[in-house]
A and B are shown apart, each in its own frame.
Chain A
């Protein structure tokens, strides 16, 4: 038995409706003996019963209604094998309405068979599909000129179609591997060389297929490791994701964009691959330095970082029923990143049959099945590549209410100028301002982040470091602490138990107002009593603001040893009365949202822990919420 190549080649079948894709697939399945026993007999019987002529296409169309309508409704995948290797056929429907299905199927393919009926010649879908194949990045194309039996096996007719279509492909920057004159119905030049085409010396369809190659892993491109999630199932903090391109080894220094912090790969946690992971691998890694990383971050090597921008040019195909409109908010996804985005302008709309731009300088929308060249703006910078450099990071989808409406490819982005992409002031909405709209404009929700902990535990230090981190992300944030509250708003309050309660109450109210205004208000007070903190939470929740309690935990001995303001010393000496931890109680939180241990975690690590749990809570709600 011939050894079968281990890697399957995925082949998409495209072309104009009724040009014979399904028939060709049925013929290939039949001639390679890839059909289950009795299948043909079963369908022949069914055809007799319904007084229909048997067709090879029926082999494929297992769903009854497809046989009735005679069109393939959705993408189908069917395996078959030649003597050389295994294949997966992707049958993409030719009917115009089903373009989204064609794209769904074709996007996974290694190679494409484009079917043109000799009897009808090059049609609209023959062109449109080729254009989409080029956008999808499929380079191996075999053109089958089918139904040659209906054209009397005419060499002239074959040449005519070949010449016309080859020119069309060249204009697209594409090239077909070969043109095969065939008849799926009779089987000529599909699996067996035909005696009717003595003038043809190229390969049969199966020979042409066997000459294609599976797409190799993209190891030679720059590294792009796309973070899917951070897992802390045990003591390990594992960054899980997929390597889209390039390769990664233990010991590599990685740059995580968009924050552009660096750290070194400590381990690859997946089953051991000798310390190397390559394009296509789903892996998990740990880092030597605990920098903040979340889903959507892209890791690369310093010498080959991606583009970071919030405004870029793209070609986009649209497949939703509702037209795409300039100015409407969509969600844009590139790899694992997701961000609100809007189309700033449409430069041109391409007629994909003629590939000519339509002459209309003021287009405000893109209809279903149209392709446009446009400018896109996202709410915050995204990490991407030009499609011609790293295709996997150069393609994106737009979604509306979670459904994919279109796909695009990025071009013309600048690799040198990463920080200059400053957002232009764009008015997204009009009218009365609601909290979600406020969050939408700011890019995050307001919140009260309530620190509690002993004096000397590190509340102020961490609060300020957190404020700086949030600020660096373009977020609105402010720290409320003893310095800016006691001297003004609460200057009439002393340190009696009643005054302490009132102090915390006023802080709670101010924090709520700030959160309502869209700010992330961070409070840094000892706030030793559970009841006070519970009230702070209730006040925030009344104002519908997010409340996040952060317990800055350190043992009393540690805090007392630090004693940054010499307060413990004074308390021990009896100079200060009712000092928390010495002669007044501290009631540690029982259900704080976040806990950091400053006796074991550095300030940076504490901030990273807080960010990891805080940032997801600050994301604006979906537009439809």
Chain B
């Protein structure tokens, strides 16, 4: 909300742009799904979808459950599913778990690939979605900075970032071939601080783990064994925003799979990781 009729804030502009993208995707694709990690960006995405579609999320949301989820996140999942009346699909890579793939025995890049990316591949094969609405942002990671709003992936979910379709004037690439899909990314232009300012403005419910307890808080949430909290006393959104305005630590510093080896994130993403 703005004070004057004829001014729009930066957040208003981001919000309108995201809604525009949601509606273009909903029109262009027959079979849409929205992965939902219960993290802050994911919850902003749900909020924007409800704005775009007048109180509804008119497509299913998908949780790739690695079985290493924080219990608080699962509680939040149950609450939000009911509260927002979501069509929730939960996917676990049972086959990999049965083979014993897990953080106890394997390195984080392998586990992330198996339990997230391969799980996504499996569930994509099953439901044949032609568009996946993601919550990724350009400022999260240098590889994500090169994304498009509508970003095609081939049948193996690979991303040809060297030859991406052009995108301008609100016109997007909307023709996945057989077995291919398009990643639709309404939050691409948002920054971490924008997300927090918007959560504050709209009073969007998020898991409590983002707020400091005993001098630590989670800044980015992933699997419990490989996600570490950052030193922080920020216990309110105001304090988090103040912290982000001075911090120079990167957002995903606490996510082990990104740092396992040089260019780990690039390798993960080229193979289909969100």
Chain A interface (Cβ < 8 Å from any Cβ of B):
6-8, 33, 35-37, 62-64, 73-79, 86, 88, 100-101, 103-104, 107-108, 136, 217, 219, 228-229, 231, 233-234, 236, 238, 240-242, 247, 269-271, 273-274, 276, 278, 280-282, 284, 295, 319, 333, 335, 392, 395-397, 399, 401-404, 407
Contact = CB atoms under 8 A, between A and B. Distances in A.
B161 A73 contact: yes
Given A74-B146, A228-B24, A270 B51 contact: yes
B16 interface: yes
Interface in B129-149: 138-139, 142-143, 145-146, 148
Given A36-B249, A108-B168, A282 B162 contact: no
A404 B171 contact: yes
Interface string B88-123: 000000000000000000000000000000000000
A107 B146 CA distance: 15
A231 B170 CA distance: 21
B60 to A, nearest CB: 16
B167 interface: yes
A197 B189 CA distance: 38
Nearest to A270: B51
B250 interface: yes
A243 to B, nearest CB: 9
Interface residues of B, number: 54
Given A33-B248, A397-B169, 6 more contacts: A101-B164, A107-B169, A228-B24, A270-B51, A282-B23, A295-B27
A104 B166 contact: yes
A281 B54 contact: no
A333 B172 CA distance: 10
A103 B166 contact: yes
Secondary structure call for the B interface: loop
B175 A242 contact: no
B161 A6 contact: no
A278 B166 contact: no
Nearest to B172: A404
B54 A104 contact: no
A36 B250 contact: yes
A276 B145 CA distance: 35
B256 to A, nearest CB: 17
A104 B26 CA distance: 22
B174 interface: yes
Contacts of B142: 62-63, 76
Given A36-B249, A77-B145, A217-B8, A64 B263 contact: yes
B57 to A, nearest CB: 11
Contacts of A242: 16, 20, 170
A231 B168 contact: no
A79 B190 CA distance: 10
B83 to A, nearest CB: 18
B30 interface: no
Contact of A74 (B2, B51, B162): B162
Given A64-B266, A282-B16, A104 B169 contact: no
B214 interface: no
Contact of B16 (A238, A281, A319): A281
Contact of A280 (B13, B166, B169): B13
B175 A402 contact: yes
Contacts of A335: 170
B5 A104 contact: no
A101 B250 CA distance: 27
B175 A63 contact: no
A155 B137 CA distance: 43
21 contacts: A62-B142, A77-B138, A77-B189, A88-B189, A104-B166, A228-B24, A231-B53, A233-B56, A233-B58, A240-B52, A242-B170, A273-B5, A276-B5, A278-B6, A278-B8, A280-B8, A280-B12, A280-B16, A282-B15, A402-B174, A404-B166
Q: Most chain-A Cβ atoms within 10 A of its Cβ — which of B11, B26, B175?
A: B175
B215 interface: no
B9 interface: yes
Nearest to A276: B5
B1 interface: yes
Nearest to B14: A8
A284 B54 contact: yes
A542 B9 CA distance: 57
A217 B8 CA distance: 8
Interface in B157-189: 161-162, 164-171, 173-175, 189
B67 interface: no
B156 interface: no
B19 interface: yes
Interface in B22-48: 23-24, 26-27
A361 B142 CA distance: 47
Nearest to B164: A74
A548 B19 CA distance: 33
Contacts of A35: 248
Contacts of B162: 73-74
Nearest to B242: A1
Contacts of A64: 262-263, 266
B191 interface: yes
Given A270-B51, A295-B27, A278 B5 contact: yes
Nearest to B16: A282
A63 B8 contact: no
A74 to B, nearest CB: 4
B173 A402 contact: yes
B17 to A, nearest CB: 8
B143 A62 contact: yes
Nearest to A64: B263
A107 B168 contact: yes
Given A278-B6, A335-B170, A231 B249 contact: no
Contacts of A281: 8, 12, 16
Contacts of B51: 270-271
Q: Most chain-A Cβ atoms within 10 A of its Cβ — which of B17, B146, B189?
A: B146
Nearest to A102: B166
Contacts of B174: 402
A228 B27 contact: yes
A78 B27 contact: no
Given A240-B23, A269-B54, A63 B173 contact: no
A250 to B, nearest CB: 12
Nearest to A35: B248
